[in-house]
Structure 1
Amino acid sequence: VCLFLLTVLLLVVGGSTAERILSRRTKRELASPLHVGGIRDPFGSYCQRRGGCCPGRDDLCTVPYLDTICYCDLFCNRTISDCCPDFWGHCLGVAPPFIGTCERNGNKFFSGQTYKENCNLCTCGTTGRWECEDNACLMEPDVIHAVNRGNYGWKAANYSQFYGMTLDEGIRYRLGTQRPTRTIMNMNEIQNDRLPVYFNSAEKWPGKIHEPLDQGNCAASWAFSTAAVASDRISIQSMGHMTPQLSPQNLISCDTRNQGGCAGGRIDGAWWYLRRRGVVTEDCYPYRPPQQTPAEVGRCMMQSRSVGRGKRQATQRCPNTHNYQNNIYQSTPPYRLSSNEKEIMKEIMDNGPVQAIMEVQEDFFVYKNGIYKHTDVSFTKPPQYRKHGTHSVRITGWGEERHYDGTSKKYWIAANSWGKNWGENGYFRIARGDNECEIETFVIGVWGRITMEDI
């Protein structure tokens, strides 16, 4: 009885103090707030463990709680959301408020408890109903099922590395090429008929076409596609005497003039850097996917100096201390091809893979195999489920799929930079000849800067 009276007395005294504070400030500002309207874990001894409760308002009267802190002072009873789970029972001797229960998969959850459903956080509400966010997810099961049920010419898959990401995050972190400026788009097109029905650069130049890399959650397709095309072209042009896999990280970290690193960049800036400064190999300067913020850019760890006739030489050792080959590779200025499919095909067959910019739609992320065309499976959904972003890829060949009814589908063979477990071993096929996803709008070729001394 005495303990209960003492508690009530503390509440009254604390209440008058709190009233004065409340007029200035009604809610504590927490770095990572507890959920408003309830608590996430109704069990556990928090206030009891810290040794008791505090009268009035005491911002130091806290206990570590999940990924934040909770309070054991009487003021927390005015905000509810930042009280420790055992505050009411231990400090006031009453039942905690707002404890309802929700069910999921046969298990009971209390008010404020949460679970993650794909990319959406669901919270058990005070009425016993789940309250979930409404984000469009990168991996939407109904989109995957709709593509696979329909007759679209390609199949979809659920990728674990994309699960839990929102569509906005996929577009922000998995693409990363900025659309060319009007000046760059006005580059003169090179006009180049005997072209085969099927062609694959890897078959014409075995050992000289490099495997797709994985950019991770780094929006730097501008660096990956540039490095990949330059690697293939140098290998082909040198007749296999040089087969470098050039370093995207060298571009991401060192090509910072009007570029955003893992937050996106321009391919014309990447080609300028490759021509004027040059880059080393992936073995010398390995890719390091961002660990914290996807937009972070690592410190540049490679510099070069001119050694005459436009050639450059590294002035630093390789960031990879186990590699001593810090040769600098450069290119000539890039050239834009005609948007005519036959001109693009002729260029690939004569000189090797080319770089292309494309608009990635929401359903492209789930592509597994087949000839991709953007589908209508999300057309009836709200706008947040229908988004696109600019990406750059490497086109390595083409083909044609003939059907029993006499019809055929033409396609490009292209390498992505989402790893080899995505798509067709890191590659994808996309409809050719009708500018699907604008893939034929802006196509780039380039020569390596190679002399007879190099060969």
Structure 2
Amino acid sequence: LIQENLLLEIQKGRYTWTGRNYSKFWGQTLEDGVRYRLGTLFPERSVQNMNQIIVKPRELPTRFDAREKWPDFIHPVQDQGNYRLAIITDGRLNTPLSAQQLLSCNQHRQKGCEGGYLDRAWWYIRKLGVVSEECYPYVSGQLGRPEPCRIQKSDYRTGRPLRCPSGHPNAQIYRMTPSYRVSSKEEDIMSEIMTNGPVQATFLVHDDFFMYSSGIYQRLPMSSGRAQDWGENGTFRILRGENHCEIESFVIGAWGKDSKARHRLLKIRKQRKHLRAA
């Protein structure tokens, strides 16, 4: 994953981003990086054909950072999938959700630590729901493998309260509305983030990305095609408005079941029906 020739080019070149040598990546091949450090498998064609939601035009600022607008709702990097739950419920649900439950229990055509599909993860959260991180803590990062599921589907059907694998007393189940696809237009994605919080997007990862440290990422011409000690405290910035590495080609959002904004979902469904009819 650490290629000295690429790293040297990044460090000496005049690019919009900088790179660094991550010792934890030494000895790992590009195949290892693709298999174990890139969590999303390319969506199937039927999922890619989801109708895009067109956002009503609005005035956009020159700069926006969700961490500044919602400082109390943005959780650490490993919990990034939970941000919107706090934002769209006005802070009523500000609980980090269990990534381990999704990894271990959402097994239908998923690949555990070797990756998974966005739509199947959202289906699991919508149909069954997940518990909190406190209830079902993440351990696969230490074990290097997904542990056996400790909350089975049959547990949901008993009518009795779930039991937390950690022994925590609160086994509340959190569910989401059906996910929806945001338009690939730059302005629509920006408006969605400003209104409802961070979205989920896929992009093509090139080998130079593993050496990213800071700045606005753009793949190097010679490149082929995370934790808080990587990048900018576990995050990165990338060129926007040009679908760089296809990051604007497939963007997903969803709302929590407790959201005040759920009435918008009905409007979106009507838009979908209208688009299909057209």
TM-score using structure 1 length: 0.54
Who is 1:332 aligned against?
177
Who is 1:281 aligned against?
132
Structure 2 residue 206 is matched with structure 1 residue 354: no
Which of 87, 101, 110 is 1:236 aligned to? 87
Q: Once the two structures are superposed, what CA deviation does each residue of 1:368-418 show, in whole Å capped at 9, x if it has no partner?
A: 00100000244xxxxxxx3x3xxxxxxxxxxxxxxxxxxxxxxxxxxxxx1
Which of 236, 242, 250 is 1:442 aligned to? 250
> 2:111 corresponds to which letter in structure 1?
G
Where do 1:381-420 residues align within 5 Å?
A: 386=224, 388=225, 418-420=226-228
Tell me if the contact between 2:202 and 2:250 (Cα under 8 Å) persists in the aligned partners: yes
Unaligned runs of 5+ in 2: 261-278
Structure 1 426/314 Cα, relative in aligned 2: closer, same or farther at 3 Å? farther
Structure 2 residue 229 is matched with structure 1 residue 421: yes
| Secondary structure in structure 1 of the residue aligned to 2:121 | helix
Structure 2 residue 240 is matched with structure 1 residue 432: yes
Tell me if the contact between 1:147 and 1:377 (Cα under 8 Å) persists in the aligned partners: no
Q: Once the two structures are superposed, what CA deviation does each residue of 1:294-331 show, in whole Å capped at 9, x if it has no partner?
A: 5x432111245369xxxxx774321223x222111110
Which of 39, 45, 53 is 1:190 aligned to? 53
CA distance in 2, matches of 1:197, 1:435: 19
Structure 2 residue 108 is matched with structure 1 residue 257: yes
Who is 1:164 aligned against?
27
Tell me if the contact between 2:88 and 2:259 (Cα under 8 Å) persists in the aligned partners: no
Which of 141, 150, 161 is 1:301 aligned to? 150
Q: Once the two structures are superposed, what CA deviation does each residue of 1:2-26 show, in whole Å capped at 9, x if it has no partner?
A: xxxxxxxxxxxxxxxxxxxxxxxxx
CA distance in 2, matches of 1:349, 1:448: 17
CA distance in 2, matches of 1:333, 1:200: 26
Shift of 1:246: 0.9
Q: Once the two structures are superposed, what CA deviation does each residue of 1:272-292 show, in whole Å capped at 9, x if it has no partner?
A: 000001011112111112667
Structure 1 314/282 Cα, relative in aligned 2: closer, same or farther at 3 Å? farther
Tell me if the contact between 1:314 and 1:326 (Cα under 8 Å) persists in the aligned partners: no
Shift of 1:451: 6.6
Who is 2:273 aligned against?
none
CA distance in 1, matches of 2:10, 2:141: 32
Who is 1:72 aligned against?
none
Q: Once the two structures are superposed, what CA deviation does each residue of 1:409-439 show, in whole Å capped at 9, x if it has no partner?
A: xxxxxxxxx1111000111000000011110
Tell me if the contact between 1:176 and 1:264 (Cα under 8 Å) persists in the aligned partners: yes
> 1:181 corresponds to which letter in structure 2?
E
TM-score using structure 2 length: 0.87
Structure 1 429/249 Cα, relative in aligned 2: closer, same or farther at 3 Å? same
Q: Which has the higher contact order (CA 8 A, sep 6+)?
A: 2
Which of 57, 64, 74 is 1:199 aligned to? 64
Who is 1:93 aligned against?
none
CA distance in 2, matches of 1:442, 1:451: 24
CA distance in 2, matches of 1:315, 1:242: 19
Who is 2:40 aligned against?
177
Aligned residues: 256
CA distance in 2, matches of 1:259, 1:441: 22
Q: Which has the larger radius of gyration?
A: 1
CA distance in 2, matches of 1:155, 1:165: 21
Misfit runs of 4+, over 4 Å? none
CA distance in 1, matches of 2:161, 2:18: 49
| Secondary structure in structure 2 of the residue aligned to 1:199 | coil
| Secondary structure in structure 2 of the residue aligned to 1:249 | helix
Who is 2:6 aligned against?
143
CA distance in 2, matches of 1:361, 1:444: 22
Shift of 1:166: 1.0
> 2:166 corresponds to which letter in structure 1?
N
> 2:62 corresponds to which letter in structure 1?
V
Aligned-residue CA RMSD (Å): 1.9
Shift of 1:241: 2.0
